[in-house]
Structure 1
């Protein structure tokens, strides 16, 4: 809690300006009334989510381009007007904010709040990257006052009020989960406001899904890659991560394993003067246990990793022969066969796809 109560009258404004800038983001504060200024701000952290409650006399708050350059991280904020009114301006739009209204704003672009009389408000700040929402959607929402009489806002308001009033009482074990739930709600709020009527696709989900898939591909060799580590990286809850993958016909864990198996199968089939061992290939692509890798590979491709390599070698040998003399090497299949087909991990499920095509 930071308050001007014990600060000398002549220093109150400077103290308040510094307190607000350090607690939220750098900004200018100009009192609007006469007499000594009074203000207080209380702040709690729920993981990466910051929850602040302000109560102050009439003032004007402004965030300028020069002040934006002093911030090291891009933040999104949602304000809840508890008492009093405000005029909010961002992205060329002006909104009259009344008691109970919500406002969404981006701290990387200039904005201002004018409070004509004493007020109180909750401010929720979180890293912008955690939302997974396109910039175009955010720009459609900033500069507007969101009513909470009905719709999604009516459901969101009491949750945010309760969260702000009890933020300091949650145990550390649940704060990150709470932060992930708030991210889910804010992303839904922005998407709903940006695409009223639901006519547009779920761009927020698809954007986040693409980023997660790219993250998986970049980190396949990390044995610690898992749904839990992905949720931590993107600052979302496990529940929301699984929701992002709804409709993808594959779970996050299955996708990680499938992509690892695909890379292993490619490397095992690659021709080289010195072929790496099966265990070294498995380890390079994130498999800790060779036995687990062999079981997973056989379940996906219908053959062991070693058999897969032998079959691909046989396939290459056949491919280098003249067309009218191509037959499978002894021990691979019966004579007279022409081609070998190989499954993808999502096709096999133990089926013998490795067999040569039917004989003439």
Structure 2
């Protein structure tokens, strides 16, 4: 358990930022109150599943692209709101979360969560590879509040609540079986939610998601372009550009952004035989090393080599880099 109880008032915000980033994923945490901040995190492991209970004062947490690129791991998370309320924003959607609601969020993409008053939440984190749900199905449920008054959510809520309070102390064989049950339940939840929302594969929202998935699968192709993406999905380049007008970006910017994120993540990874900067750039679709360096510096404020050196020297993998 990590708690601010024994931390001097002046140091509590910094302590809480580090505690949250170490326990969950690297995030920026901004307390909302004026008085001394109070919070605690209790975490247990259940095989490959991590179960954490967070009880804290009002705050806002943000998972930014820069923090994502520094993370060696990026699990899928399911939150169970036990008390208080929250507002989750991810993938352009805004979810108002009340007591008893569930939310799914993918830590490989930016998100923010606002907690306007003191709250308690259970956070279940599991590796993306354990879920059989497609990227499109997963993206369709992120940024939405899942009610638990009836349907599958009503079945899932008591199980998750009980598991959160008794996750530790199980023999390895039992822990593995329980973790497997949770994965199956989450897969079912994603499937049911996707079906209940009635989203057809050819609706604009799903087409945007399919395009995003296509881009992620083909980032290493230097010839990836809006025209080729449009042809692969049977639409015109003009319609493709129009679809992304509401996404706050363009296809070209999205491709460059995703390539830079993957390059940043690979350069930050600790390894005895670290690849060269030019090799990383080429692997993620950058033809010109000079163009890659300029684009990387514009996005992250340092050169690729400086980024790699700073990440290699930080004391704890996955923690935000010092700006001092």
**Superposition deviation, residue 72 in structure 1:** 1.3
Map of 1:44 onto structure 2: 44
The 8 Å contact of residues 53 and 122 in structure 1, kept in 2 or not, is answered as yes
**Superposition deviation, residue 74 in structure 1:** 3.0
Map of 1:144 onto structure 2: 144
Equivalents in 1 of 2:50, 2:68: separation in Å?
19
Deviating above 6 A after TM superposition, structure 1's stretches of 4 or more consecutive aligned residues are 197-201
> Could you say if the C-alpha distance between residues 125 and 56 of structure 1 is closer, same or farther in structure 2, counting changes exceeding 3 Å?
same
Equivalents in 1 of 2:52, 2:92: separation in Å?
26
- Normalized against structure 2, the TM-score is what? 0.60
Pairing of 1:191-202 with structure 2 (within 5 A): 191-196=191-196
1:338-360 alpha-carbon deviations (Å, 9 max, x no partner): xxxxxxxxxxxxxxxxxxxxxxx
Match status 1:14 vs 2:14: yes
Secondary structure of 2:89 counterpart: strand
**Superposition deviation, residue 48 in structure 1:** 0.3
The 8 Å contact of residues 57 and 118 in structure 1, kept in 2 or not, is answered as yes
Map of 1:88 onto structure 2: 88
The 8 Å contact of residues 192 and 198 in structure 1, kept in 2 or not, is answered as no
**Superposition deviation, residue 197 in structure 1:** 7.8
**Superposition deviation, residue 168 in structure 1:** 1.4
> Could you say if the C-alpha distance between residues 144 and 197 of structure 1 is closer, same or farther in structure 2, counting changes exceeding 3 Å?
closer
With a CA cutoff of 8 Å and minimum separation of 6, indicate the structure with the bigger relative contact order: 2
1:237-291 alpha-carbon deviations (Å, 9 max, x no partner): xxxxxxxxxxxxxxxxxxxxxxxxxxxxxxxxxxxxxxxxxxxxxxxxxxxxxxx
**Superposition deviation, residue 25 in structure 1:** 0.2
**Superposition deviation, residue 200 in structure 1:** 7.7
Query: How many matched pairs?
Result: 201
Equivalents in 2 of 1:198, 1:48: separation in Å?
32
Structure 1 alignment gaps of length 5 or more: 202-360
1:68-92 alpha-carbon deviations (Å, 9 max, x no partner): 0111123100000000000110000
Pairing of 1:47-58 with structure 2 (within 5 A): 47-58=47-58
Map of 2:69 onto structure 1: 69
CA RMSD of aligned residues (A): 1.5
Structure 2 alignment gaps of length 5 or more: 202-324
Secondary structure of 2:108 counterpart: coil
Equivalents in 1 of 2:76, 2:8: separation in Å?
34
Match status 1:130 vs 2:130: yes
Map of 1:339 onto structure 2: none
Equivalents in 2 of 1:138, 1:71: separation in Å?
20
Pairing of 1:74-223 with structure 2 (within 5 A): 74-196=74-196
Equivalents in 2 of 1:195, 1:66: separation in Å?
33
> Could you say if the C-alpha distance between residues 158 and 180 of structure 1 is closer, same or farther in structure 2, counting changes exceeding 3 Å?
same
Map of 2:27 onto structure 1: 27
> Could you say if the C-alpha distance between residues 196 and 172 of structure 1 is closer, same or farther in structure 2, counting changes exceeding 3 Å?
same
> Could you say if the C-alpha distance between residues 174 and 198 of structure 1 is closer, same or farther in structure 2, counting changes exceeding 3 Å?
farther
Map of 1:355 onto structure 2: none
The 8 Å contact of residues 2 and 41 in structure 1, kept in 2 or not, is answered as yes
Equivalents in 1 of 2:29, 2:73: separation in Å?
21
Equivalents in 2 of 1:199, 1:95: separation in Å?
18
Equivalents in 2 of 1:162, 1:171: separation in Å?
17
1:282-303 alpha-carbon deviations (Å, 9 max, x no partner): xxxxxxxxxxxxxxxxxxxxxx
> Could you say if the C-alpha distance between residues 197 and 103 of structure 1 is closer, same or farther in structure 2, counting changes exceeding 3 Å?
closer
